[in-house]
Structure 1
C-alpha cells in the first residue's frame, strides 16, 4: 500500500531540453482561453432563489417535522452539519463541552454528501484520509475512493458516536446572529422561529453549499424536466447512486457542465438514456482513477494513529515537503510539484531560484498535460470528439479529475458531445431543447451539472447577517477587506469562530484542514472555560498584524491565473489581485497554530470581564 518516495520537487529540466514547442503550446493555451472568456464573468450564474427556489428544495427529507420555536441556551451552537460542523462538534465534545447544538438546513448530517447523491458520486481524495475520525468511529472504508452513500453514512456515524443528534436542529436555517453584550452570548435566529442563545458560535456552512444555475436565456421556458445534480431526481430517472437509470430508456437527456460532477454522472446517463447530449464549454483533465476495494489484510494490519500519519504524509507530499514514502500513492501525490500553482507552500519555494523553478514547473506541467491529451486519443475512437475533449490549459487551472469510464462514454453511439466554446456556452433554451450556435438539440430533460458558489458562505457574503458589539455587521467591519486573527475570529465579534479557508490555510484534502481548524477552536474554547474568560476576541492590533502577515506571505498567482481558462479557480477569468490564504501553506500554518497555543497566544484572545485578558 505504499511506495518509496522522495521529495516531489520540480523536474530539473526545462521545456526546451524536453523537446517541447513551448511557444506553440503557450499560444494554443491562450487561444483556447480566449474562446471561453465571457464579459459577465461570475455573473453568468444565478443562485437558487426567487423564481428558481424550487431547484433548492430538499428531495430527501421527510415532511418537515413540526416543533415549537426554541428559546433555550446552549454553550456552543454549530452552524452546518457537514464535515466541518461534525468535526467541530466532535472535537468540542472531546474537549469536555457537553452542551452543543448543530443547526443544519438539510434533513440530516452530511453537508455536501447529504445533498449530492447523483449516480456515480465518489470522493476524489482517498477515503482513508478524506473520511474523518475513522479511528474514533472504528471504521475502515470499503473502497480506496468511497462512494457518496458510504461517506454520508459515515457522517451519520460521527453524529451518533459523539452524541451530536441529541440537540441537533435539522431542516433549520439560521437567519441572523446578534451578539448580546450584557450577557456575552449570541442570539441565534432561524427560519423556524427560533431565538435561541449560545455562549459560542462556530460557523461551518461549507465552501460547496450554494448550488448555482447558468443564466441562460429561456431557462424558464423549457417544457421538459430539469434538475440540478445536487438535487438528483431519481423519481424521474429511476435507479440510484449506483446507476440503473431505467426510466431514461426512452428519454433524450442534455447535461450542461463538464466539471467534476459530470465526470461521474455522465457515464451512467450515457449507459441508460436513449440519447445523451453533453454540452461542454471547457473539457476537464481526466486522469486514471484506478479505484479498488480495500484489502482486508491491510486493514487488519493498521495500528493506532494510522489515519493521522497517512493524512500528514499526504499533506506533506502534495505541498512539496520530503517524505520517506508515499502512503497514498495516487494522482494527487504524483503531480505534487504542480499543486503550488493553486496552494503555494514554503517547501516549494525553497527548492530552486524563482526563474529556474518556474521553468521546471512549466516543463512538468506541459509533460503532464501532454499525457492527459494522449490518453484522450488512446481512449476516444472518434478523432473529432477526441480533439474537443482535450484540455488546453495548465494542470492546476481547473480541479483535476479522475475517471476510468468518462472518456469511454463518448464511444457510445447514443452519446454526443456538443462543444459550446465559440458561443461562450449554451446560447439559449427553448420550450423543447437547447440551442448552441444556432442549432437546437431536442431534449426531454436537462440536468444542470453547474456546480456551486465556491467559498462563499452566508457569513462572508452577508446573506447571513452577523451583528457584533455595538450592532455593527461583519460586512460593515470588513468594508476594506476581511480582518481576522488566523482566519477564525474578528475584533468586535466575540465568541464567534469561522471555519473555512479565509485568511487560514487550504489543501486539496480540505477535510484535513477542517479537522485542524476544529481542534484549534476546541482548544480555545476549552481554555476559555478553564480560565473562566468572559469572551474570546482578538485585539484590533492582533487582527491588523495577522492581516499584514497574510499580505506579506501571499503568493502572487495573478499572472498564472490570468493565463488560465475560465473557471472557479480564477473567478471565471477574472482572477483576484491577492490571495487571502496563508502563503507558506497548510503544514507551516498548522505548526504556527500549535506554537501559538503553547507559547502564550491564548492570552491574546481570552478576555476577562469587560477589561483585559484572562
Structure 2
C-alpha cells in the first residue's frame, strides 16, 4: 500500500482556541499556582511504588469472584467440530454488532461465542444495584433506527441496555448458532484449509473461515492486591458478579438481606458512585473505603418520550449519535442535541482523546485549557461543599486533580448518601490504600473496621481482555503467536483491525484506531468495516490480510501527528488512564485526528482501496 492511500481526509477548519472549551469564570494566576501545588501534593499521597501491579486478576487467582452468578450452570452439550463462515468471539455490543452487520452483508453461518450465559457483554455481567449508563441512551444504544426502539430513560438502567442487546441479537438471528457459557482458549490458523480452528473450554474445535475478535475492554474483573483477602470469613463479591442471593433485592434496590449487616465497599469510581447510594439505603452501616475521590457531576436522569428526541424522523438516532460524536470530539456542530454534562465539558476531554484541535498556537490553547479546567474543577468541588453537611467528609470527597485525569462520573444521589449517620467515609490515601484484610474486617491505619460483607467495586483490567491479555493465544501463519510478534515489534495493525501474518482475523477494540467516550458508536463503525471486509473477500474469493508496508504506513500515520499528552498524564493522580502513575502508553495510540475523521477515512478507504488487503489464497507471505 502506498502512502497516498493513507493520507488523511479533509479535516474541518478548526484551531486551538478557547472557543472549544466550556465557559468559565476567570481563575487568577496565583490561584493556578496554588492549584498546581495542591494537585502535586495530592498525587504524591496516592502514588504507589507497585503501580498497576497493586491489582490481582480476579479470575486467575480467585475464581469465585469471576464465576457467573446469573445461571445455575452451563447447558450440557456435545463439543462441536463443524465449520462456520464467521466466528465472532464475544457477545457484548462489539460481537452483537459484528454479527448484525455480517447478516446485513448476507453472511449465513455466524457463530458468536460468549463466556456469559447470554448476550450483553459488560451489561450481562454488571447488574449491581443502581447500574446505569452515563452516556445518553439515545446515542449509546446502537441500531435504534434498525430496531425501531426508543429508550425509556435519558440514561438507561442496565436492564434496559441488556434487553436491547438481546433485541438486536434476536432481530438478526444470532441466537441460532451462539455458544454461551463458553470461553475461547485458542485460535489457530490452518494455512492448507484456509480457516481458523477455534478451541474452547467446552472441548470445541470447530473451524471458521473468518474470525472477528470482540473480546471487549471491560470483561476481566480485578481486585486490589490487599494482603489477607483470602482470609476474610464474611461474605465478599465483585460488583460485576453481584450476589443477590446474599443481598436480596434487584438493581432497583430493596436489599433486605443487608438488614443488620455491616458492609464495606472498596472503590469510588464510576461503579462505586452508582452502587454506594443503594447500599447506604439498605445496610445497617456502610463503610466506603476511598483512595481517590471521583469528580461527580449532575446526572439529571429522567424518563423520555419519542417526541423529546425527534424519534418521528427517519434516521433520528444516527443523526443524534453523529451530533454527539462531533461535539465530544471537539468539532463544531450547529446545535447540541444531547446537551448534558458530557457535551458541556467536551473541550476538557482533549487530553483523553486524540484530536485535530492541536493545530495552531499550542501555548495559547494550553493556557486557556488550564483556566477552564480549574474553573470546572472548582465548580465540582463547590458542589461537594454545598451538598455534604460534615465539613471533614466534604473535604475528603473533593477531587484535587485536573478534569481529564480520571473518568468523569455523574450522580445526584452519591453526595447525599454521606449525610447519613450510617455511612462512614474511610480515606486511605495516606496509607496507600487498605493495609490488610482480616478474618472479620479491614485494617486502615490503627483502625479495624469489622464487616459482615465486603464488596469490591475495583473495576476491570481495562484494555487487556482476551487476546491482549495473553489468555487467548492466537497462532497465525507458520504458528507465529500474535503477542510474541508484538512483544518483539510492538503492536502492528492496519486501522487497528487487521494484521499481516494473521489472515481473515479482524480485531475490534481501541487499539490503533479511534476513541470516544461513546464507545458503542466506535464499535458499530468497526463492525460495519469488518462486515464489509468479509463481504469483499467472499466476492473476490480472497483472504483478508494487509501487507507489512500497509502496517508501516499506518503506524507512520498514527505517529506523525500524535498529540503530546504524556506530560499531562504524568502529572495526574494515579489511575488506569496513566497506568497508576507510571505513564499512559507505549507506541502509537489512536488515530490522531479524532473519531469523526477516522470514520470518514475508513469509508473512503472502503470505497477506493479495500482491494489492497484482499490477497489471493495462494499468495506467499509478503
TM-score range (shorter-chain normalised) is: over 0.9
Q: Deviations over 1:319-339 (max 9, x none)?
A: 111111000000110001101
Do residues 311 (structure 1) and 321 (structure 2) align?
yes
Do residues 96 (structure 1) and 112 (structure 2) align?
no
Distance 2:459 2:481 in 1: 29
Structure 1 residue aligned with 2:590:
581
Q: 2:548 aligns with which of 534, 540, 554?
A: 540
Structure 2 residue aligned with 1:169:
179
Distance 2:121 2:220 in 1: 11
Do residues 386 (structure 1) and 394 (structure 2) align?
yes
Structure 2 residue aligned with 1:82:
92
Q: 2:540 aligns with which of 531, 548, 553?
A: 531
Structure 1 residue aligned with 2:303:
293
Do residues 107 (structure 1) and 117 (structure 2) align?
yes
User: Residues 81, 20 of structure 1: CA spacing in aligned structure 2 closer, same or farther, 3 A cutoff?
Assistant: farther
Contact 2:24 2:375 in 1 (8 A): no
Structure 2 residue aligned with 1:279:
289
Q: 2:515 aligns with which of 506, 514, 530?
A: 506
Structure 1 residue aligned with 2:4:
none
Q: 1:66 aligns with which of 56, 69, 76?
A: 76
Q: Deviations over 1:394-427 (max 9, x none)?
A: 0010000000000000000000000000001001
Name the SS for the 2:221 alignment partner: strand
Q: 2:165 aligns with which of 155, 158, 170?
A: 155
Contact 2:24 2:376 in 1 (8 A): no
Q: 2:561 aligns with which of 553, 566, 569?
A: 553
Q: Which 5+ residue runs of structure 2 have no aligned equivalent?
A: 1-16
* Mean CA deviation greater in 35-44 or 53-62: 53-62
Q: Deviations over 1:312-370 (max 9, x none)?
A: 10110111111110000001100011011100211x223x5100000011111000000
Distance 2:323 2:22 in 1: 24
Contact 1:8 1:320 in 2 (8 A): no
TM-score (norm 2): 0.95
Distance 1:19 1:194 in 2: 64
Structure 2 residue aligned with 1:488:
497
Name the SS for the 1:220 alignment partner: helix
Contact 1:16 1:22 in 2 (8 A): no
Q: Deviations over 1:515-538 (max 9, x none)?
A: 0000011111111111221x1100
Quote how far apart the aligned CAs of 1:10 are.
3.7
Contact 1:555 1:579 in 2 (8 A): no
Do residues 132 (structure 1) and 127 (structure 2) align?
no
Do residues 35 (structure 1) and 45 (structure 2) align?
yes
Distance 2:495 2:169 in 1: 27
Quote how far apart the aligned CAs of 1:554 are.
1.8
Structure 2 residue aligned with 1:366:
374
Structure 1 residue aligned with 2:33:
23
User: Residues 408, 167 of structure 1: CA spacing in aligned structure 2 closer, same or farther, 3 A cutoff?
Assistant: same
Contact 2:495 2:554 in 1 (8 A): yes
Structure 1 residue aligned with 2:206:
196
User: Residues 526, 13 of structure 1: CA spacing in aligned structure 2 closer, same or farther, 3 A cutoff?
Assistant: closer
User: Residues 275, 88 of structure 1: CA spacing in aligned structure 2 closer, same or farther, 3 A cutoff?
Assistant: same
Superposition pairs of residues 232-381 of structure 1, within 5 angstroms: 232-298=242-308, 301-346=311-356, 348-350=357-359, 352-381=360-389
Q: Deviations over 1:537-591 (max 9, x none)?
A: 0011111111121122222211100110000111111113545211111111111
TM-score (norm 1): 0.96
Name the SS for the 1:369 alignment partner: helix
Quote how far apart the aligned CAs of 1:119 are.
0.1
Quote how far apart the aligned CAs of 1:133 are.
0.8
Structure 1 residue aligned with 2:12:
none
Quote how far apart the aligned CAs of 1:20 are.
5.8
Name the SS for the 1:325 alignment partner: coil
Quote how far apart the aligned CAs of 1:197 are.
0.2
Distance 1:588 1:32 in 2: 37
Name the SS for the 1:196 alignment partner: strand
Distance 1:245 1:104 in 2: 30
Q: Deviations over 1:52-75 (max 9, x none)?
A: 111111000232111111000000
Structure 2 residue aligned with 1:405:
413
Do residues 519 (structure 1) and 528 (structure 2) align?
yes
Q: How many residues are aligned here?
A: 604
Structure 2 residue aligned with 1:226:
236
Q: 1:425 aligns with which of 411, 433, 438?
A: 433
Structure 2 residue aligned with 1:4:
none
Quote how far apart the aligned CAs of 1:297 are.
3.3
